[in-house]
Amino acid sequence: MVSSAFAIAFTVLVLTAVHGATSDDKQSTRIRSSPQWEDGRFVNPNGLEVKLLSWEALSVTIDYLLTIRKRKEARPEKPVPTVKIDPAEWTNTDPKRFDYAWLGHASVLVALEGKIILIDPVFEKRVSAVSWYGPERFFPPPMDTSTLPVIDAVVITHSHYDHLEEPTIRTLSKANTIFLVPLGIGSILQKWGVDPERITELDWWESYKLDTVTFHATPAIHSSMRGIWDFAQQLWCSWAITGAYRRFFVSGDSGYYEGFTEVGKRLGPFDAAFLKIGSYSDAGVWRKGHMTPEEAIRQAMDIRAEMVVPLHWATFDLELYDWHDSIVRAVKEAAAKDVTLVTPIPGRKMSGEQRDVDTRWWRDLITSK
């Protein structure tokens, strides 16, 4: 199967050029005045510089090619269990509750104090610029655009194809929902039919309030692009979403950063943290911009999260290792650090108060034991 880092590199560098926004679209006064904007692009606070055309970027593809034969399980050989989302269960939710469902990869459906929030919705078969090429899903999404409940807010962490998907956004643009995105992504959404009046772009530490729920854009260590002409022209971020009774954190794609402790001080503690654990490397520039499973557990401790729900795993072949390596490592580290980690079946509605560790469905799918 054509996928993973090699597929991403080829797709981005060759096929996506026509999909990127031009630099002119991004040269607004607000973007240029951002503390994160430097020398014509967004930058990371820890000095990590991710270049589009560099040996570091090429090395990721090389690493993947060298590990193809070493990986015994690039994807699960058995079907991944899923629970179909019932829109009725996400209607008229309790204004004091926090419920969620992991939809696969980085997509999460959340009910927080009466508001339905959809994070990084990706429902297509492939994460690519084209429908016929690129990493393919391991399992059908437990929810698609034909079975959506009423969504109050769509939250995007960054512009990469596995987090921001055009067909899904075009469908959501017809609904009466707001879109909360990092600086620079608004123009992309407008091209896809989203009313600019329903788009709010935020810089780090800026916030937007929707009744009792506040959306805080917080730092992340990563990069962005849709095509070769818009590299680092859209900001990337994590999110802290807080209500009167409950609050949760979403990492987006990020490398480990000691600055996350400031998020915990300002906005924590959190009832739950949805943290990326997959698509990591144990060395090199890729490591700096993508947390390892162990670093995700450390991040949870930094932000004072009571529970971790892993993201960015068991959905697409985007790994340098076997598909299950990230979750095995995350579980081991969480146990060592006494951090509660929950791995719900995709689509299963979970209460934010549940600390159900008996959701280890993935263990039955590991064949190389």
- Convert the pLDDT of each residue in 332-341 to its tens digit: 999 999 999 9
The pLDDT value given to residue 55? 60
Q: For residue 55, give Cα distances in angstroms to 51, 52, 61, 231.
A: 9, 9, 10, 16
Does residue 257 carry a pLDDT above 70? yes
- The confidence score (pLDDT) of residue 320 equals 85
Which of the four pLDDT bands, split at 50, 70 and 90, describes residue 147?
Answer: confident
Cβ-proximal residues to 295 (8 Å cutoff; 6+ apart), any chain:
255, 256
Enumerate the domain spans of the chain: 4-365
Task: Look at residue 126 and tell me whether its pLDDT is greater than 80.
Answer: yes
At 289 the pLDDT is 76
pLDDT averaged over the chain? 88
Confidence of residue 60 (pLDDT cuts 50, 70, 90): low
Q: What CATH superfamily classification does 4-365 receive?
A: Ribonuclease Z/Hydroxyacylglutathione hydrolase-like (3.60.15.10)
Tell whether the model's pLDDT for residue 210 goes beyond 90.
yes
Which pLDDT score, from 0 to 100, does residue 227 have?
83
Kindly list the strands in the beta sheet with 107-112, ordered across the sheet, starting from the edge strand earlier in the chain: 199-202, 178-182, 153-155, 115-119, 107-112, 98-104, 350-351
Mean pLDDT lowest among 93-102, 328-337, 356-365: 356-365
Q: In this model, does residue 109 exceed pLDDT 90?
A: yes
What is the chain's percent helix, strand, coil content, to nearest 5?
A: 25, 20, 55
Indicate whether 77 pLDDT > 50.
yes
